[in-house]
Amino acid sequence: MMRRIRWAMVLAAAVGLTIPVGIRAETTPPGDLTITILYDNYEYAEGLQTAWGFSALVEIGDHTILFDTGGDGPTLLSNGAALGVEWSDVEVIVLSHEHGDHVGGLQALLDTGITPTVYAPASFPATVRQHILARTDLVQVTDTVEILPGVHSTGEIIALPIEQSLVLETTVGLVVITGCAHPGIVNIVERVRTVVEDDICLVVGGFHLANRTQGEVRPIAEELLALGVQHACPTHCTGDGAIAVFEEVFGDAFMQGGVGRVIVLEDLTNAAD
């Protein structure tokens, strides 16, 4: 399937780091994908620590990406060790937004000696950007950008705070990972549809609906279905009541989240049938 990629400029704070701007040619999506939730306030697998926040390890093709770093280093590192994570494999860290429950584990990760390139919204406070630059390379994201082959940022989506989400191309459609979805989960999905032209197989992460009634959440879940989202895995700040609504609306296409949850490409193949 042809995918028309809309690229835009990224401000690169690291010396010598440049990102091309243009239209990417057709490529074959990576054939392998594993998403492991390392940090969450919901439990999925026993023996792991829960705490308020979110982090997910993405292994796609030959690349390893960490999306957000949770609220603290000890919990993230402990869960990573229990799940067999090799931090030295992490090439890129993508930070969704500046809140502490999504960036709190970053310093502890960098203290392990790894130096992945960090992609953060350009709106991050200067003190945070300077702290990252003192340890490793930083790409300040403004508009949509392809981070690695088949791996995209939505670019900054305006909200309080400004946020970016991760878009992964797979052989069964797009996988979208959100941090807190402060701009609105529907708005994020609509943005994704302008980044890569393909079906949306899965949306996973925080949906920021804990303060909404179930009556308010239902049309949101139904709109995601209308937008073509085939699987939903709401967790973190989504809220118990909202998660229950998504389970009802999506039925068999609902996926339970929580720390220790592992999603592999084979789990999503039914979405392509």
Domains of the chain: 32-265 (3.60.15.10)
DSSP state of 78: H
Question: Which residues fall within 8 angstroms of residue 112, CB to CB, at 6 or more apart?
Answer: 77, 87
pLDDT of residue 191: 96
CA distance linking residue 179 with residue 182, whole number of Å: 8
* Both tokens assigned to 165: 């989400």
Is the pLDDT reported for residue 21 higher than 70?
no
Query: Pick from 16, 95, 81, 140: which is nearest to 260 by CA?
Result: 81
pLDDT of residue 187: 97
Is the pLDDT reported for residue 12 higher than 90?
no
* Both tokens assigned to 248: 């009802």
The 10s digit of each residue's pLDDT in 70-109 is 999 999 999 999 999 999 999 999 999 999 999 999 999 9
Is the pLDDT reported for residue 132 higher than 90?
yes
pLDDT of residue 111: 97
What's this model's pTM, rounded to 2 decimal places? 0.89
pLDDT of residue 28: 66
145 bridge partner residues = 153
* Both tokens assigned to 73: 């280093």
Unique residue bearing structure tokens 């690695």: 148
Query: How many helices (DSSP H) and strands (DSSP E) are in the chain?
Result: 7, 14
CA distance linking residue 5 with residue 147, whole number of Å: 12
Is the pLDDT reported for residue 234 higher than 90?
yes
CB-side neighbour CA atoms (13 Å) of 19: 25
Percent of the chain with pLDDT over 90: 85
CA distance linking residue 208 with residue 206, whole number of Å: 6
Is the pLDDT reported for residue 1 higher than 90?
no
The 10s digit of each residue's pLDDT in 41-51 is 999 999 999 99
CA distance linking residue 124 with residue 104, whole number of Å: 14
User: What mean pLDDT do residues 3-29 have?
Assistant: 38
- Strand-pair category, 33-40 with 11-12: unpaired
Sign of CA dihedral 29, 30, 34, 38: negative
H/E element, 117: strand 117-121
pLDDT of residue 27: 61
CA distance linking residue 14 with residue 154, whole number of Å: 21
- Residue 135, class by beta-carbon neighbours within 10 Å (0-12 exposed, 13-18 middle, 19+ buried)? middle
Is the pLDDT reported for residue 167 higher than 80?
yes
pLDDT of residue 270: 56
